[in-house]
Amino acid sequence: MRRTGSWAVGITAILVSVVVFIVPFAFIFLTAAKDASDASRLQFSWPQEWTFVENLTEVLTTRDGIVVRAFVNSTILTVVSVVVMVILAAMVGYLVQRRRSRLNPVINFFVLAGLIVPPAVVPTIWVLQQTGLFKTMPGLILIEATFGLSFCILLFRAFVATIPRELDEAAIIDGAGPLRLFFAVILPLLRPVIITVVVVQAVAVFNDFTNPLYFLPGDENATVQLTLYNFQSQMVSQFNLLFMDILLITVPPLVMYIFFNRQIVAGMTSGAVKG
């Protein structure tokens, strides 16, 4: 009886996954392969004429290759932002977990506030303007890293709790300083949670729409999500090109999740037992 119930739950989960994930992806792919007239009907049907290559070429060459520039901008933004998040969050998580002090409650308060309090767009724009970072890639990198830092600190702090303190003491006895202790001893042990942070935050930054829209306007600074405006407006909607652009944007995060899904789960649950 229990085995039958578990099979029923498993089959139900598979069916829900198919409906929620595979069916929309199939609709995107089929619409991206249609011509303009066929795609305008927005029907879940087989293309009357396959124009996949033609649509792909037109998307990549629209407005002097703005989609290609957007992919380059998004890649730079994602890589640098995630590197900053990993290094800073690992350091803060290690210090908060290892060194108990009166400042820990204050630090924990601000870390949780970063998860709960919504970002204030107008004051942030004012700060960026005063520092000369508005409409610049370094400014947006700082924004992305700051907004994702709280979540990363919580993950690193939970994982550091599973690392024995004896390793720290042994490294200090061997003459390791603070930086050598962290980068040579602790950081290599954080590999599972680093992979989790890299994949989760890379997908979040790569797919971010609002922050580039507010803090990095302009065609030269366009990111992949903002290129969707090229194929849909109040007067004209090119659904075949729009869905082709969506397909291109969807592929990189999907590939990352397929290859690193086990590491993501391991990193998310690694600090659940202790800490």
Instruction: Evaluate whether residue 217 is within a structural domain.
Output: yes
Instruction: Evaluate whether residue 248 is within a structural domain.
Output: yes
Number of structural domains in the chain: 1
pTM of the model: 0.85
User: Which pair of structure tokens corresponds to residue 168?
Assistant: 């720290």
Instruction: Evaluate whether residue 275 is within a structural domain.
Output: no
User: Which pair of structure tokens corresponds to residue 75?
Assistant: 């890649």
Integer Cα distance of 154 and 112 in angstroms: 9
Instruction: Evaluate whether residue 202 is within a structural domain.
Output: yes
Write the CATH number for 253.
Answer: 1.10.3720.10
Q: Residue 105 phi/psi, 5° resolution? A: -60, -35
What is the reported pLDDT for 175?
Answer: 86
Among 28, 118, 87, 76, smallest CA distance to 206 is for: 76
What is the reported pLDDT for 138?
Answer: 94
Token pair 């659904």 in the structure block, residue: 239
What are the average pLDDT values for consecutive 10-residue runs of the chain, which has 275 residues? Answer: 68 79 89 90 89 92 88 94 95 88 85 85 91 92 93 91 88 86 90 89 92 87 86 71 92 81 64 47
Exposure string (b/e) for 180-212, b if CB count within 10 Å is 16 or more?
Answer: ebbeebbbeebebbbbbbbbbbbbbbbbbeebb
153: containing domain: 2-269
